[in-house]
Amino acid sequence: MTEQAVQKMESRPVFPFTAIVGQEEMKLALLLNVIDPKIGGVMVMGDRGTGKSTTVRALSDLLPDMTIVANDPFNSDPEDAELMSEEVAKKVYENQTLETESKKIPMIDLPLGATEDRVCGTIDMEKALSEGIKAFEPGLLASANRGILYVDEVNLLDDHLVDVLLDSAASGWNTVEREGISISHPARFILVGSGNPEEGELRPQLLDRFGMHAEIGTVKEPELRVQIVEQRASFDETPIDFRNAYQQPQTLLRNKIVKARELLNAVELDYDLRVKISQICSELNVDGLRGDIVTNRAAKALAAFEGRNKAEEQDIFRVIPLCLRHRLRKDPLETIDSGDKVRDTFRRIFS
């Protein structure tokens, strides 16, 4: 961790991820997306005050540092061409030496009132026309590259802007075009949206584009509620001491994530299990193939997280409600299935 990152952490301590009580569904979905970002992000829906924002910030703080090209606004990866800006890629092609630095994985908050220019970036046409150079002012998508983009109350965001975010998240690139000038840069991030269902749902067409859908509710057990309140009070009073108490479990979980990322490509999922996943999607009348793809990826990511190189039936059972429940609706007025319908279909097919 860089000195600057340490100072930032100490000036604004973040609640430890391993100290969060309950909300297992949301935590699992977030961890699996961190292990395999190609799962496609998470939509978290739940009551107000259930720790959605706290959990996402805690996840970002938990993750290991990343290596970037120094002074690059796109967090370019010095090793991966898919995660390099055009300028960095050109330097690599010319065999120039790249200066690198370590940086905390970014967690970018997208405010509700953000404009498309603020999100995607803008081209300075005056400079482009007068000086003949592509003058680009990066937006939030550039800052979020290789990190997490968090949109609170995504269900209140303009549909067009949600479409832009989902397109960038799916393709891994952001393209800005104006007056015949086009600029592209890498924008591979984990998109996390959250919202309160009382304030309205996303349209099914947009909801389907999120890889996973986690539902969280207010904790009902009095003992757990007391534990959460006491933890929060302790953290607010002495945040550094509270964080220090969770240093060991945080380190263990961080190492587990790193190992899972390394193991992921070696994880196998038997053909007959893949066929059964597709059979479930077919019986549930899930449109398209996103449900099949995401369930396959999530099952492998879970196996990698638990240190296994083969995904099993139980892995599928744990992740498939998160991957399919938001893809079942055909009528926008229907509520999202809690997961029971998906589980019942799973049990029938796997029996």
Catalytic residue ranges: 290
Residue type, 132: G
Residue with tokens 């490509």, as numbered in its chain: 265
Residue with tokens 């108490």, as numbered in its chain: 245
DSSP-derived letter for residue 40 is -
Alpha-carbon span 305 to 30, nearest angstrom:
12
Q: How many helices (H) and strands (E) does the chain have?
A: 16, 11
Question: Helices 271-283 and 340-350 sit at what angle, rounded to 10 degrees?
Answer: 130
Alpha-carbon span 174 to 191, nearest angstrom:
14
Helix, strand, coil: what percent of the chain each, to 5? 55, 15, 30
Alpha-carbon span 42 to 53, nearest angstrom:
13
Residue with tokens 């395999």, as numbered in its chain: 36
DSSP-derived letter for residue 166 is H
| Run of H or E residues at 234 | helix 222-237
Residue with tokens 């899930």, as numbered in its chain: 286
| Run of H or E residues at 294 | helix 290-305
